[in-house]
Amino acid sequence: MYICCPGGRIIRVLMENGIARENVEGVLGVLRYIAGEIGREGDAFELDPEVRAQLEDMGLTDEQIDFVVGLAHRLASRPTDDYSERENGIRQRTKGRG
């Protein structure tokens, strides 16, 4: 395990797909941004060339960029309710928490 938090799974998957440790934080920020754009634009989403260039500047290959965009699509399409599943499978109520 690379990090002990719920987001550790995403970090692990990024690193398993060749994202360098020093780029993970930046890629996570871009991943969050892309997922938000997908949520707003829906089927009309197209990756902004400037965002692609930002990922390329971090050293990502076309295949890695496609992976990050695919991951953002999966994250953006996850159903939201007032429960959040933890990695250990326990459901924890999150609605109304700070």
How far, in Å, CA of 37 to CA of 40, rounded?
A: 5
81, two tokens: 């309710």
| Three-state SS annotation for 4-17 | CCCCHHHHHHHHHC
- pLDDT attached to residue 93: 42
Q: Which residue has tokens 């965002």?
A: 51
Contact indicator for 27, 14 with CB cutoff of 8 Å:
yes
Please list the pLDDT of the chain residue by residue as tens digits (98 residues).
233 345 588 999 999 999 999 999 999 999 999 999 999 999 899 999 999 999 999 999 999 999 999 999 998 887 654 444 444 444 444 444 44
